[in-house]
Amino acid sequence: MSALSGGSGSRRPVTLDDVARQAGVSQPTASRVLNGSSRKVAEAYRERVLQAARELGYTPNLPAQAMARGTSRTIALVISLISDPYFAAMAAEIMKQAEAIGLHVSIAVTERQADRELDLVRELRGQQPRAIILAGTGYVDPPSEQQLIDELRRYEETGGRVVLISRSDLPFETVDFDNHEGSRQLARELAALGYERCLILGSGTPLLSMQRRVEGFVAGLVESGVNGARVHHPEFSWTGARDFVLALTDADVRDLQLVFAVTDDLALGALAGLRERGLRIPEDIGVAGFDDITTLRDVVPQLTTVHVALNAVAQEAIYRATTSDSEPTRTTVPAYPVLRASTPPLQASCVIE
């Protein structure tokens, strides 16, 4: 923020009074122009105020604006990782949907740390956004769940809205997609193509949605008559999946027909590790993921995955963030398998009857 010089050479922030004084108008008039009041201001005065604000470098106090108007044009989005392709795509879709109705989105990143998520929510309460959307994945056994619920309840008491995306660990408005069912359907379709000897890569971080994807895939295999799939939980990243695959023994790899990873990012890491071992995809082994991130368009062979309609998820989340329903609801957006070249049918003799 810019500042004005005092007589002693010190500098202070530019205030609304400074703008009003330079524009030659009253402070209420300057406030109506700069703080988005619905009351009309003569065009000549409006131009003078805007010109003075530009000259002085005045930056409006957004929390003060929100209090003055009783609402804010900002939605706070809390995500796990901005570097993760899934969360980057999610953030882009939410920003697109918000901007379509004249709202702005601020982004906070938890780095998959439950305590950091709690701290961020506390900070956001003070900024008074119109809504807080929590798109980070919930934990199997969160260390500060009740504290987080209490903070969000206090925020709601001041008129804010809370919306969760793909997590059911908290009692608030939720937009979900069925992690368990999407994985279950994928497993059934892959089993029908002949895949029996499967390695499942879950998450080394205890995340609820990732656990449900593992459980759903195992359930789909069992329903198809396939038992004994191996489940491992490497470090939850592209590098973690690649390193895990590279550490497998040759005997372990020779026994596999398929690697299923609970995210596309993990699947791509596994694919890279398999190729470093000299394996061909899909001639030697199939690979599948979950999310259908946009960067899959550049992957060869095209990756089999579970499609999540992020545009529909974002649209519903923004709608829920801007309505005033008294009771929280749960909306589920379908997630469904998309079979591509990374998992072709195996020989007919291997197909499960």
List per-block mean pLDDT (blocks of 10 residues) for the chain, which spans 353 residues.
Answer: 50 80 86 68 86 82 51 87 89 94 92 86 89 80 78 89 85 90 97 97 88 96 94 95 97 95 97 97 97 92 96 93 78 93 76 31
Where in the chain are the domains? 3-60, 69-177+310-334, 179-308+337-350
Q: What's residue 263's pLDDT?
A: 95
Homologous superfamily (CATH) of 69-177+310-334 is Response regulator (3.40.50.2300)
pLDDT for position 350: 36
**pTM here?**
0.75
Q: What is the CATH number of domain 3-60?
A: 1.10.260.40
Superfamily of domain 179-308+337-350: Response regulator (3.40.50.2300)
What is the number of other CB atoms lying within 10 angstroms of the CB of residue 348?
7
Question: What is the C-alpha to C-alpha distance for residues 23 and 217, in angstroms, rounded to an integer?
Answer: 66
Residues 177 and 332: beta-carbon distance below 8 Å: yes
Q: Which residue has the tokens 């071992």?
A: 277
- H or E stretch at 35: none
* Residues near 197 by beta carbon (within 8 Å), at least 6 away in sequence: 255, 256, 257, 258
Report the residue count for the chain.
353
Note the pLDDT of residue 253. Answer: 94
pLDDT attached to residue 205:
81
**CB atoms near residue 339 (< 10 Å):** 17
**Structure tokens, 284:** 């030697």
* Domains 3-60 and 69-177+310-334 are alike in CATH topology: no
